[in-house]
A and B are shown apart, each in its own frame.
Chain A
Amino acid sequence: MAQAAIELIGINKSFGAVRANRDINLEIARGTIHGIVGENGAGKSTLMSILYGFYQADSGEIRVGGKPASIKTPNDAIALGIGMVHQHFMLVDNFSVLENIILGAESDALLKSSIAKARSELERLEREYGLEVDPDAIIEELPVGLQQRVEILKALYRGAEILILDEPTGVLTPAEADHLFRILKQLKEQGKTVVLITHKLREIMAITDNVSVMRQGTMVATRETSKTTVGELAELMVGRRVLLRVEKGEAEAGAVKLAVKNLTVKDSRGVTMVDDISFDLRAGEIVGIAGVAGNGQSELLEAISGIRHAVSGSVMLDGKPIDLTGAADPGELRDRGLAHVPEDRHHVGLVLAFEENENSILGYHDDPRYLKGPFLNVDAIMADAKDKIEKYDIRPGNPRLKTANFSGGNQQKIVLAREMEQDPGVLIVGQPTRGVDVGAIEFIHKRLIAMRDQGKAVLVVSVELDEIRSLSDRILVMFAGRIVGERGPEATEGELGLLMAGVERQEAAL
Chain B
Amino acid sequence: MDVFIAIVQILDSTIRLSVPLLLACLAGLFSERSGIFDIGLEGKMLVGAFAGAAAASVFHSAFIGLGMAILISVAFAMVHGFASITHRGNQIVSGVAINFIAAGSTIILGQAWFQQGGRTPALQPGERFDAIVWPGAEAVRDVPIIGPIYAELISGHSLLVYLAFLMVPFTWWVLFRTRFGLRLRAVGENPAAVDTAGISVAWLRYRALICTGILTGVAGAYLSMVQNGGFVKDMTAGKGYIALAALIFAKWKPVNAMFACLLFGFLDAAAIRLQGSPLPIIGKVPVQFMQALPYILTVILLAGFIGKAIPPRAGGVPYVKER
Query: Which residue numbers of A lie inside 8 Å of B, CB to CB?
Result: 15, 20, 46, 52, 54-55, 73-75, 78, 84, 86, 88, 90-95, 99-100, 102-106, 108-112, 114
Asked if B190 and A90 sit within 8 Å, CB to CB, the answer is yes
Of the candidates B177, B192, B198, the one whose C-beta lies within 8 Å of that of A111 is B177
Inter-chain CA distance A88–B196, complex, in Å, is 12
Instruction: Using known A-B contacts A103-B197, A104-B199, determine if residue A90 contacts B177 with beta carbons closer than 8 Å.
Output: no
Inter-chain CA distance A90–B321, complex, in Å, is 13
Distance in Å: Cβ of B197 to nearest Cβ of chain A = 3
Asked if A91 and B323 sit within 8 Å, CB to CB, the answer is no
Of the candidates B179, B198, B199, the one whose C-beta lies within 8 Å of that of A108 is B179
Instruction: Using known A-B contacts A90-B190, A95-B189, determine if residue A78 contacts B177 with beta carbons closer than 8 Å.
Output: no
Q: Is B178 an interface residue (CB 8 A)?
A: yes
Closest to A15 in B: B323
Asked if B198 and A112 sit within 8 Å, CB to CB, the answer is no
Cβ of B196: which chain A residues have Cβ within 8 Å of it? Answer: 52, 54, 74, 84, 86, 90
Q: Within residues 148 to 180 of chain B, which ones have a CB less than 8 A from any CB in chain A? A: 176-180
Of the candidates A15, A91, A92, A102, the one whose C-beta lies within 8 Å of that of B185 is A92
Cβ of B180: which chain A residues have Cβ within 8 Å of it? Answer: 109
Instruction: Using known A-B contacts A74-B195, A111-B182, determine if residue A93 contacts B189 with beta carbons closer than 8 Å.
Output: yes
Cβ of A108: which chain B residues have Cβ within 8 Å of it? Answer: 179
Inter-chain CA distance A403–B179, complex, in Å, is 42
Asked if A99 and B182 sit within 8 Å, CB to CB, the answer is yes
Asked if A73 and B198 sit within 8 Å, CB to CB, the answer is yes
Inter-chain CA distance A452–B41, complex, in Å, is 61
Asked if B183 and A104 sit within 8 Å, CB to CB, the answer is yes
Cβ contacts A to B, 15 pairs, < 8 Å: A46-B323, A54-B196, A73-B198, A75-B198, A92-B189, A95-B185, A95-B189, A99-B182, A99-B186, A104-B183, A104-B194, A106-B182, A109-B178, A111-B182, A112-B177
Of the candidates A46, A74, A93, the one whose C-beta lies within 8 Å of that of B198 is A74
Best-surrounded residue of B178, B181, B190, B323 (most CB of chain A within 10 A): B190
Contact with A along B299-318 (1 / 0, CB 8 A): 00000000000000100000
Asked if A114 and B179 sit within 8 Å, CB to CB, the answer is yes
Contact with A along B222-235 (1 / 0, CB 8 A): 00000000000000
Q: Within residues 191 to 226 of chain B, which ones have a CB less than 8 A from any CB in chain A? A: 192-199
Inter-chain CA distance A90–B176, complex, in Å, is 20
Asked if A93 and B190 sit within 8 Å, CB to CB, the answer is yes
Query: Which residue numbers of B lie inside 8 Å of A, CB to CB?
Result: 176-183, 185-186, 189-190, 192-199, 313, 321, 323
Distance in Å: Cβ of A87 to nearest Cβ of chain B = 10
Distance in Å: Cβ of B30 to nearest Cβ of chain A = 17
Asked if B193 and A91 sit within 8 Å, CB to CB, the answer is yes
Cβ of B190: which chain A residues have Cβ within 8 Å of it? Answer: 90-93
Asked if B178 and A103 sit within 8 Å, CB to CB, the answer is no
Cβ of A86: which chain B residues have Cβ within 8 Å of it? Answer: 196
Inter-chain CA distance A102–B185, complex, in Å, is 13
Asked if B178 and A105 sit within 8 Å, CB to CB, the answer is no
Cβ of A103: which chain B residues have Cβ within 8 Å of it? Answer: 182-183, 186, 193-194, 197, 199
Inter-chain CA distance A46–B321, complex, in Å, is 12
Distance in Å: Cβ of B317 to nearest Cβ of chain A = 15
Asked if A90 and B192 sit within 8 Å, CB to CB, the answer is yes
Cβ of A55: which chain B residues have Cβ within 8 Å of it? Answer: 321
Distance in Å: Cβ of A270 to nearest Cβ of chain B = 14
Closest to B196 in A: A90
Asked if A102 and B193 sit within 8 Å, CB to CB, the answer is no
Instruction: Using known A-B contacts A93-B189, A103-B186, determine if residue A110 contacts B179 with beta carbons closer than 8 Å.
Output: yes
Asked if A78 and B189 sit within 8 Å, CB to CB, the answer is no
Inter-chain CA distance A15–B177, complex, in Å, is 41
Closest to B177 in A: A111
Which A-B residue pairs are the 9 nearest by beta carbons? A104-B197, A75-B198, A90-B193, A74-B198, A106-B179, A90-B196, A92-B189, A92-B186, A92-B190
Inter-chain CA distance A75–B190, complex, in Å, is 18
Distance in Å: Cβ of B170 to nearest Cβ of chain A = 14
Inter-chain CA distance A92–B196, complex, in Å, is 12
Best-surrounded residue of B178, B182, B195 (most CB of chain A within 10 A): B182
Inter-chain CA distance A100–B190, complex, in Å, is 11
Closest to A89 in B: B193
Inter-chain CA distance A78–B321, complex, in Å, is 18
Distance in Å: Cβ of A147 to nearest Cβ of chain B = 12
Instruction: Using known A-B contacts A84-B196, A104-B194, determine if residue A111 contacts B321 with beta carbons closer than 8 Å.
Output: no
Cβ of B321: which chain A residues have Cβ within 8 Å of it? Answer: 54-55
Cβ of A92: which chain B residues have Cβ within 8 Å of it? Answer: 185-186, 189-190, 193
Cβ of A15: which chain B residues have Cβ within 8 Å of it? Answer: 323
Inter-chain CA distance A91–B179, complex, in Å, is 16
Instruction: Using known A-B contacts A46-B323, A104-B199, determine if residue A111 contacts B193 with beta carbons closer than 8 Å.
Output: no
Cβ of B185: which chain A residues have Cβ within 8 Å of it? Answer: 92, 95
Inter-chain CA distance A100–B186, complex, in Å, is 9
Asked if B182 and A102 sit within 8 Å, CB to CB, the answer is yes
Closest to B321 in A: A54
Cβ of A95: which chain B residues have Cβ within 8 Å of it? Answer: 185-186, 189
Cβ of A52: which chain B residues have Cβ within 8 Å of it? Answer: 196
Cβ of B178: which chain A residues have Cβ within 8 Å of it? Answer: 109-111
Distance in Å: Cβ of B281 to nearest Cβ of chain A = 40
Distance in Å: Cβ of A119 to nearest Cβ of chain B = 15
Inter-chain CA distance A92–B197, complex, in Å, is 11
Closest to B179 in A: A106
Distance in Å: Cβ of B156 to nearest Cβ of chain A = 36
Asked if B197 and A74 sit within 8 Å, CB to CB, the answer is yes
Closest to A75 in B: B198
Distance in Å: Cβ of A20 to nearest Cβ of chain B = 8
Inter-chain CA distance A268–B193, complex, in Å, is 28
Asked if B186 and A111 sit within 8 Å, CB to CB, the answer is no
Inter-chain CA distance A435–B163, complex, in Å, is 54
Distance in Å: Cβ of A35 to nearest Cβ of chain B = 22
Distance in Å: Cβ of B320 to nearest Cβ of chain A = 12
Q: What would 6 more interface pairs be, CB under 8 Å, given A54-B321, A94-B189, A108-B179? A: A74-B198, A84-B196, A86-B196, A92-B189, A103-B194, A111-B179
Cβ of B194: which chain A residues have Cβ within 8 Å of it? Answer: 103-104
Cβ of A88: which chain B residues have Cβ within 8 Å of it? Answer: 192
Distance in Å: Cβ of B68 to nearest Cβ of chain A = 30
Inter-chain CA distance A118–B178, complex, in Å, is 15
Best-surrounded residue of B181, B186, B195 (most CB of chain A within 10 A): B186
Cβ of A112: which chain B residues have Cβ within 8 Å of it? Answer: 177
Cβ of B192: which chain A residues have Cβ within 8 Å of it? Answer: 88, 90
Distance in Å: Cβ of A61 to nearest Cβ of chain B = 22
Inter-chain CA distance A103–B182, complex, in Å, is 7
Inter-chain CA distance A91–B313, complex, in Å, is 12
Asked if B179 and A109 sit within 8 Å, CB to CB, the answer is yes
Closest to A52 in B: B196
Closest to A79 in B: B198
Inter-chain CA distance A95–B323, complex, in Å, is 26
Inter-chain CA distance A54–B197, complex, in Å, is 11
Inter-chain CA distance A84–B195, complex, in Å, is 12
Inter-chain CA distance A282–B179, complex, in Å, is 60
Best-surrounded residue of A104, A105, A110 (most CB of chain B within 10 A): A104
Inter-chain CA distance A105–B314, complex, in Å, is 22
Distance in Å: Cβ of A54 to nearest Cβ of chain B = 7
Cβ of A78: which chain B residues have Cβ within 8 Å of it? Answer: 198
Inter-chain CA distance A109–B180, complex, in Å, is 7
